[in-house]
Structure 1
Protein backbone atom coordinates (compact mmCIF):
# COMPACT_ATOMS: atom_id res chain seq x y z
CA UNK A 1 0.00 0.00 0.00
CA UNK A 2 2.86 2.39 0.64
CA UNK A 3 3.74 2.63 -3.05
CA UNK A 4 0.20 3.73 -3.89
CA UNK A 5 0.14 6.48 -1.26
CA UNK A 6 3.83 7.52 -1.39
CA UNK A 7 3.33 10.12 -4.17
CA UNK A 8 0.25 11.47 -2.39
CA UNK A 9 2.21 11.83 0.85
CA UNK A 10 4.93 13.66 -1.06
CA UNK A 11 2.40 16.11 -2.54
CA UNK A 12 1.25 16.89 1.02
CA UNK A 13 4.74 18.13 1.84
CA UNK A 14 6.39 15.00 3.22
CA UNK A 15 10.03 14.65 2.07
CA UNK A 16 10.48 11.84 -0.47
CA UNK A 17 12.77 9.97 1.93
CA UNK A 18 9.92 9.78 4.48
CA UNK A 19 6.98 9.53 2.07
CA UNK A 20 7.02 5.73 2.04
CA UNK A 21 6.56 5.62 5.82
CA UNK A 22 3.64 8.05 5.70
CA UNK A 23 2.19 6.23 2.68
CA UNK A 24 2.19 3.05 4.73
CA UNK A 25 0.31 4.83 7.51
CA UNK A 26 -2.25 6.17 5.05
CA UNK A 27 -2.83 2.70 3.65
CA UNK A 28 -3.23 1.26 7.15
CA UNK A 29 -5.75 3.95 7.97
CA UNK A 30 -7.91 3.14 4.93
CA UNK A 31 -7.71 -0.65 5.18
CA UNK A 32 -7.74 -1.10 8.96
CA UNK A 33 -8.45 1.90 11.17
CA UNK A 34 -6.89 5.19 12.18
CA UNK A 35 -6.11 3.81 15.65
CA UNK A 36 -3.68 1.26 14.23
CA UNK A 37 -2.11 3.90 12.00
CA UNK A 38 -1.71 6.33 14.91
CA UNK A 39 -0.04 3.60 16.95
CA UNK A 40 2.43 2.97 14.14
CA UNK A 41 2.96 6.73 13.78
CA UNK A 42 3.94 6.86 17.45
CA UNK A 43 6.43 4.03 16.89
CA UNK A 44 7.92 5.86 13.90
CA UNK A 45 8.25 9.04 15.95
CA UNK A 46 9.94 7.16 18.80
CA UNK A 47 12.36 5.49 16.33
CA UNK A 48 13.18 8.85 14.69
CA UNK A 49 11.96 7.64 11.30
CA UNK A 50 9.96 10.83 10.74
CA UNK A 51 10.86 14.47 11.17
CA UNK A 52 8.70 16.61 13.43
CA UNK A 53 7.14 18.32 10.39
CA UNK A 54 6.30 15.00 8.72
CA UNK A 55 4.77 13.68 11.94
CA UNK A 56 2.50 16.72 12.18
CA UNK A 57 1.39 16.41 8.56
CA UNK A 58 0.82 12.67 9.01
CA UNK A 59 -1.31 13.27 12.09
CA UNK A 60 -3.63 15.45 10.00
CA UNK A 61 -3.66 12.92 7.15
CA UNK A 62 -4.71 10.11 9.51
CA UNK A 63 -7.49 12.07 11.20
CA UNK A 64 -11.03 10.92 10.40
CA UNK A 65 -13.14 7.81 10.08
CA UNK A 66 -12.64 7.14 6.36
CA UNK A 67 -11.92 3.40 6.43
CA UNK A 68 -13.62 0.19 5.42
CA UNK A 69 -14.77 -0.54 8.97
CA UNK A 70 -16.62 2.75 9.09
CA UNK A 71 -18.59 1.76 6.02
CA UNK A 72 -20.29 -0.98 8.01
CA UNK A 73 -20.91 1.32 10.95
CA UNK A 74 -22.50 3.95 8.72
CA UNK A 75 -24.57 1.42 6.82
CA UNK A 76 -25.88 -0.06 10.07
CA UNK A 77 -26.47 3.26 11.81
CA UNK A 78 -27.98 5.28 8.99
CA UNK A 79 -29.68 2.20 7.56
CA UNK A 80 -31.46 1.75 10.88
CA UNK A 81 -32.85 5.26 10.66
CA UNK A 82 -34.03 4.85 7.07
CA UNK A 83 -34.30 1.10 6.36
CA UNK A 84 -36.14 1.62 3.08
CA UNK A 85 -33.17 3.64 1.72
CA UNK A 86 -30.42 1.07 2.41
CA UNK A 87 -29.92 0.40 -1.31
CA UNK A 88 -29.34 4.09 -2.00
CA UNK A 89 -27.02 4.33 0.97
CA UNK A 90 -25.01 1.31 -0.16
CA UNK A 91 -24.43 2.99 -3.53
CA UNK A 92 -23.10 6.17 -1.95
CA UNK A 93 -21.20 4.96 1.07
CA UNK A 94 -17.92 4.09 -0.71
CA UNK A 95 -17.90 7.49 -2.38
CA UNK A 96 -18.47 9.06 1.03
CA UNK A 97 -15.46 7.18 2.42
CA UNK A 98 -13.27 8.39 -0.43
CA UNK A 99 -14.54 11.94 0.05
CA UNK A 100 -13.77 11.76 3.77
CA UNK A 101 -10.25 10.53 3.09
CA UNK A 102 -9.69 13.29 0.54
CA UNK A 103 -10.88 15.88 3.07
CA UNK A 104 -8.33 14.66 5.63
CA UNK A 105 -5.58 14.64 3.03
CA UNK A 106 -6.48 18.15 1.88
CA UNK A 107 -6.28 19.35 5.49
CA UNK A 108 -2.86 17.69 5.76
CA UNK A 109 -1.79 19.46 2.56
CA UNK A 110 -2.79 22.83 3.99
CA UNK A 111 -0.88 21.99 7.18
CA UNK A 112 2.12 21.11 4.99
CA UNK A 113 1.94 24.54 3.38
CA UNK A 114 1.65 26.37 6.70
CA UNK A 115 4.29 24.46 8.67
Structure 2
Protein backbone atom coordinates (compact mmCIF):
# COMPACT_ATOMS: atom_id res chain seq x y z
CA UNK A 1 0.00 0.00 0.00
CA UNK A 2 1.17 3.47 -0.80
CA UNK A 3 1.14 6.30 1.73
CA UNK A 4 0.08 8.91 -0.85
CA UNK A 5 -0.01 9.59 -4.56
CA UNK A 6 3.48 11.10 -4.31
CA UNK A 7 4.70 7.92 -2.63
CA UNK A 8 3.18 5.88 -5.49
CA UNK A 9 4.86 8.09 -8.11
CA UNK A 10 8.23 7.92 -6.39
CA UNK A 11 8.12 4.15 -5.82
CA UNK A 12 6.89 3.55 -9.37
CA UNK A 13 9.69 5.69 -10.74
CA UNK A 14 12.29 3.89 -8.65
CA UNK A 15 11.01 0.49 -9.76
CA UNK A 16 10.98 1.65 -13.40
CA UNK A 17 14.57 2.89 -13.19
CA UNK A 18 15.59 -0.37 -11.54
CA UNK A 19 14.00 -2.31 -14.40
CA UNK A 20 15.72 -0.20 -17.07
CA UNK A 21 19.09 -0.70 -15.40
CA UNK A 22 18.39 -4.43 -15.09
CA UNK A 23 17.63 -4.63 -18.84
CA UNK A 24 20.86 -2.87 -19.75
CA UNK A 25 22.89 -4.90 -17.28
CA UNK A 26 21.47 -8.25 -18.36
CA UNK A 27 22.09 -7.57 -22.04
CA UNK A 28 25.69 -6.60 -21.30
CA UNK A 29 26.24 -9.65 -19.09
CA UNK A 30 24.74 -12.10 -21.60
CA UNK A 31 26.86 -10.71 -24.43
CA UNK A 32 29.93 -10.88 -22.18
CA UNK A 33 29.21 -14.47 -21.18
CA UNK A 34 28.73 -15.46 -24.82
CA UNK A 35 32.04 -13.80 -25.65
CA UNK A 36 33.74 -15.65 -22.79
CA UNK A 37 32.29 -18.98 -23.98
CA UNK A 38 33.42 -18.20 -27.54
CA UNK A 39 36.94 -17.47 -26.31
CA UNK A 40 37.01 -20.78 -24.44
CA UNK A 41 35.69 -22.63 -27.49
CA UNK A 42 38.37 -20.95 -29.62
CA UNK A 43 40.95 -22.92 -27.62
CA UNK A 44 39.61 -26.08 -29.26
CA UNK A 45 40.76 -27.09 -32.74
CA UNK A 46 38.87 -25.34 -35.54
CA UNK A 47 35.99 -27.14 -37.25
CA UNK A 48 35.79 -26.83 -41.05
CA UNK A 49 38.49 -24.16 -40.97
CA UNK A 50 36.74 -21.82 -38.53
CA UNK A 51 36.82 -21.55 -34.73
CA UNK A 52 33.95 -22.95 -32.74
CA UNK A 53 31.48 -20.45 -31.29
CA UNK A 54 28.21 -20.79 -29.44
CA UNK A 55 26.43 -19.39 -32.48
CA UNK A 56 28.01 -22.04 -34.73
CA UNK A 57 27.16 -24.83 -32.30
CA UNK A 58 23.56 -23.69 -32.03
CA UNK A 59 23.55 -23.17 -35.79
CA UNK A 60 24.34 -26.84 -36.24
CA UNK A 61 21.64 -27.67 -33.73
CA UNK A 62 19.08 -25.50 -35.53
CA UNK A 63 19.98 -26.60 -39.10
CA UNK A 64 17.69 -29.67 -38.95
CA UNK A 65 14.95 -27.52 -37.42
CA UNK A 66 15.23 -25.03 -40.27
CA UNK A 67 15.13 -27.88 -42.77
CA UNK A 68 12.02 -29.27 -41.04
CA UNK A 69 10.20 -25.94 -41.38
CA UNK A 70 10.81 -25.78 -45.11
CA UNK A 71 14.33 -24.58 -45.88
CA UNK A 72 16.27 -26.73 -48.37
CA UNK A 73 19.03 -28.72 -46.68
CA UNK A 74 21.85 -26.94 -48.53
CA UNK A 75 20.60 -23.61 -47.08
CA UNK A 76 19.67 -24.96 -43.64
CA UNK A 77 23.12 -24.44 -42.03
CA UNK A 78 23.09 -20.74 -42.93
CA UNK A 79 19.52 -20.32 -41.66
CA UNK A 80 20.31 -22.44 -38.60
CA UNK A 81 23.27 -20.19 -37.85
CA UNK A 82 20.95 -17.20 -37.81
CA UNK A 83 18.51 -19.01 -35.52
CA UNK A 84 21.45 -19.91 -33.29
CA UNK A 85 22.45 -16.26 -33.15
CA UNK A 86 18.86 -15.29 -32.31
CA UNK A 87 18.61 -17.91 -29.58
CA UNK A 88 21.92 -17.02 -27.96
CA UNK A 89 22.19 -13.26 -28.48
CA UNK A 90 19.01 -11.71 -29.86
CA UNK A 91 16.91 -11.26 -32.98
CA UNK A 92 18.44 -7.85 -33.74
CA UNK A 93 21.93 -9.35 -34.03
CA UNK A 94 20.50 -12.21 -36.11
CA UNK A 95 18.80 -9.76 -38.48
CA UNK A 96 22.10 -7.90 -38.86
CA UNK A 97 23.68 -11.24 -39.78
CA UNK A 98 20.89 -11.90 -42.25
CA UNK A 99 21.41 -8.49 -43.85
CA UNK A 100 25.18 -9.13 -44.11
CA UNK A 101 24.76 -12.52 -45.83
CA UNK A 102 26.00 -12.66 -49.41
CA UNK A 103 23.23 -12.46 -52.00
CA UNK A 104 22.00 -15.90 -52.99
CA UNK A 105 22.85 -17.62 -49.70
CA UNK A 106 19.13 -18.10 -49.18
CA UNK A 107 16.58 -18.31 -51.99
CA UNK A 108 13.57 -15.95 -51.74
CA UNK A 109 11.31 -18.50 -50.01
CA UNK A 110 14.02 -19.48 -47.50
CA UNK A 111 14.71 -15.81 -46.86
CA UNK A 112 11.02 -15.25 -46.10
CA UNK A 113 10.80 -18.29 -43.79
CA UNK A 114 13.99 -17.26 -41.98
CA UNK A 115 12.84 -13.66 -41.62
CA UNK A 116 9.68 -14.78 -39.87
CA UNK A 117 11.42 -17.47 -37.80
CA UNK A 118 13.84 -14.84 -36.46
CA UNK A 119 11.02 -12.56 -35.33
CA UNK A 120 10.44 -14.17 -31.93
CA UNK A 121 11.93 -12.70 -28.78
CA UNK A 122 13.33 -15.93 -27.36
CA UNK A 123 16.94 -15.48 -26.31
CA UNK A 124 19.07 -15.80 -23.22
CA UNK A 125 18.82 -12.10 -22.40
CA UNK A 126 15.02 -12.28 -22.54
CA UNK A 127 15.09 -15.06 -19.93
CA UNK A 128 17.20 -12.84 -17.68
CA UNK A 129 14.86 -9.92 -18.31
CA UNK A 130 11.85 -12.03 -17.44
CA UNK A 131 13.38 -13.21 -14.17
CA UNK A 132 14.64 -9.75 -13.19
CA UNK A 133 11.33 -8.06 -13.99
CA UNK A 134 9.32 -10.51 -11.93
CA UNK A 135 11.92 -10.36 -9.15
CA UNK A 136 11.51 -6.60 -9.06
CA UNK A 137 7.71 -6.51 -9.25
CA UNK A 138 6.89 -9.70 -7.34
CA UNK A 139 9.93 -10.82 -5.35
CA UNK A 140 8.06 -13.79 -3.86
CA UNK A 141 7.64 -15.29 -7.37
CA UNK A 142 11.30 -14.99 -8.38
CA UNK A 143 12.10 -18.64 -7.76
CA UNK A 144 9.07 -19.84 -9.75
CA UNK A 145 10.01 -17.73 -12.75
CA UNK A 146 13.68 -18.69 -12.53
CA UNK A 147 12.70 -22.37 -12.65
CA UNK A 148 10.60 -21.76 -15.76
CA UNK A 149 13.14 -19.49 -17.47
CA UNK A 150 14.91 -22.05 -19.66
CA UNK A 151 11.66 -23.85 -20.41
CA UNK A 152 10.24 -20.57 -21.67
CA UNK A 153 13.41 -20.10 -23.77
CA UNK A 154 12.88 -23.49 -25.44
CA UNK A 155 9.15 -22.86 -25.91
CA UNK A 156 9.80 -19.40 -27.33
CA UNK A 157 12.28 -20.76 -29.86
CA UNK A 158 9.83 -23.48 -30.82
CA UNK A 159 7.14 -20.83 -31.32
CA UNK A 160 9.54 -18.79 -33.46
CA UNK A 161 10.25 -21.85 -35.59
CA UNK A 162 6.52 -22.51 -35.89
CA UNK A 163 6.02 -18.99 -37.21
CA UNK A 164 8.55 -19.77 -39.94
CA UNK A 165 6.87 -23.13 -40.57
CA UNK A 166 3.50 -21.47 -41.17
CA UNK A 167 5.11 -19.11 -43.66
CA UNK A 168 6.74 -22.15 -45.27
CA UNK A 169 3.33 -23.77 -45.65
CA UNK A 170 1.63 -20.78 -47.23
CA UNK A 171 4.53 -20.11 -49.64
CA UNK A 172 5.02 -23.68 -50.84
CA UNK A 173 6.73 -23.59 -54.23
Higher relative contact order (CA 8 A, sep 6+): 1
RMSD value over aligned CA atoms? 1.1
Look up the match of 1:105: 161
Which residue matches 2:42? none
**Shift of residue 12 of structure 1?**
0.7
**Using the alignment, how far apart are the partners of 2:60 and 2:123 within structure 1?**
18
Aligned partners of 2:89 and 2:132: how far apart in 1?
Answer: 18
Who is 1:34 aligned against? 91
> Whose helix proportion is higher, 1 or 2?
1
Q: Where do 5+ consecutive residues of structure 1 fail to align?
A: none
Deviation (angstroms), 1:48? 2.1
Q: Who is 2:77 aligned against?
A: 20
Gap regions ≥5 residues in structure 2: 1-56
Normalization by structure 2: what TM-score? 0.63
Distance 2:111 2:94 in 1: 12
Q: 1:48-67 to 2 correspondence within 5 Å?
A: 48-67=104-123
Partner residue in 2 for 1:68: 124
* Structure number, greater radius of gyration: 2
Q: How many residues align?
A: 114
Equivalents in 1 of 2:60, 2:148: separation in Å?
27
TM alignment of 1:74-89, pairs within 5 A: 74-89=130-145
Deviations 1:11-56 (A, max 9, x none): 1100111001001001011111111100111122x52211111111
- How does the TM-score come out when normalised to structure 1? 0.93
